[in-house]
């Protein structure tokens, strides 16, 4: 407290009085194990930035970063946000390089068709020469789209800066 107090121009006891109730809020929350019925949803989005050291030219000739976001499908809480990567990276590569794949270990993860070649659950696709999917696969794709809409809503909240939630590491995006 002797070192913190002069930084803010207060006494040592005033700094202690202010920081004592705030200390638990600033502590890193312990890692929680996901429940057995937990399902995550992942998606990547391009975030425009002026910092060209971490960005790359991507869609619409903008310099942007690829940001991977993982949410819990039931609670709609953000579980992990990856390290920003250049916007020219595709989603399946950014998923592993950003580090969010480590947050998804042992949990089924729903993703869009951009994550081919990963162990994630992606929608069914028509094979070459096939005109339509079977009715069962169409129903499964419909359920898949409805579930993935939750991560799209979370990304729109992120981009519109409508953030709310506790300070302890997990952001609550509210009910959509």
Q: Are strands 40-48 and 109-110 parallel, antiparallel or unpaired?
A: parallel
**Per the domain annotation, does 138 fall within a domain?**
yes
Residue 122 lies in a domain: yes
Residue 136 has which token pair?
């069962």
> Looking at residue 165, what is its pLDDT?
39
Give a yes or no: residue 81 inside a domain. Answer: yes
What is the number of structural domains in the chain? 1
User: Which residue range is the domain that position 149 belongs to?
Assistant: 40-160
Q: Is 11 inside any structural domain? A: no
- The answer as to whether 146 is a domain residue is yes
44: which 2 tokens? 């990547």
Residue 136 placed within a domain:
yes
Per the listing, tokens 């993703």 go with 111
pLDDT, position 81: 86
Query: What confidence score (pLDDT) does residue 139 get?
Result: 92
- The Cα 31–Cα 23 span in angstroms is 18
Would strands 63-72 and 40-48 be described as parallel, antiparallel, or unpaired? antiparallel
b/e per residue 32-50 (b: at least 16 CB within 10 A)? eeeeeeeebbbbbbbbebe
- Domain annotation covers residue 4: no
In a domain, 33, yes or no: no
**pLDDT tens, position by position, for the chain (176 residues)?**
787 788 778 888 888 888 888 777 666 555 567 778 888 999 888 887 777 777 777 666 677 888 888 888 888 888 888 888 887 778 888 898 988 888 888 899 999 888 888 888 888 888 888 889 899 999 998 888 888 888 888 878 777 764 443 333 343 333 33
Q: How many CA atoms lie within 13 A of 43 on its CB side?
A: 21
């Amino acid at each position: 407290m002797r070192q913190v107090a002069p930084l803010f121009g207060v006494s040592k006891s005033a700094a202690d009085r202010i920081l004592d109730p705030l200390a638990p809020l600033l502590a890193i929350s312990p890692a929680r194990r996901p429940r057995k019925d937990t399902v995550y949803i992942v998606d990547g989005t391009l975030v425009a930035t002026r910092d060209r050291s971490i960005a790359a030219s991507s869609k619409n000739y903008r310099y942007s970063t690829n940001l991977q976001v993982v949410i819990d499908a039931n609670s709609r809480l953000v579980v992990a946000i990856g390290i920003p990567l250049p916007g020219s990276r595709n989603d399946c590569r950014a998923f592993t390089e950003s580090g969010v794949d480590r947050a998804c270990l042992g949990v089924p993860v729903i993703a869009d068709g951009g994550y081919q070649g990963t162990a994630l659950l992606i929608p069914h696709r028509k094979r070459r020469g096939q005109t339509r999917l079977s009715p069962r696969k169409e129903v499964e794709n419909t359920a898949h789209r409805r579930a993935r809409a939750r991560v799209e809503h979370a990304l729109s909240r992120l981009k519109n800066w409508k953030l709310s939630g506790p300070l302890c590491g997990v952001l609550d995006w509210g009910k959509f």
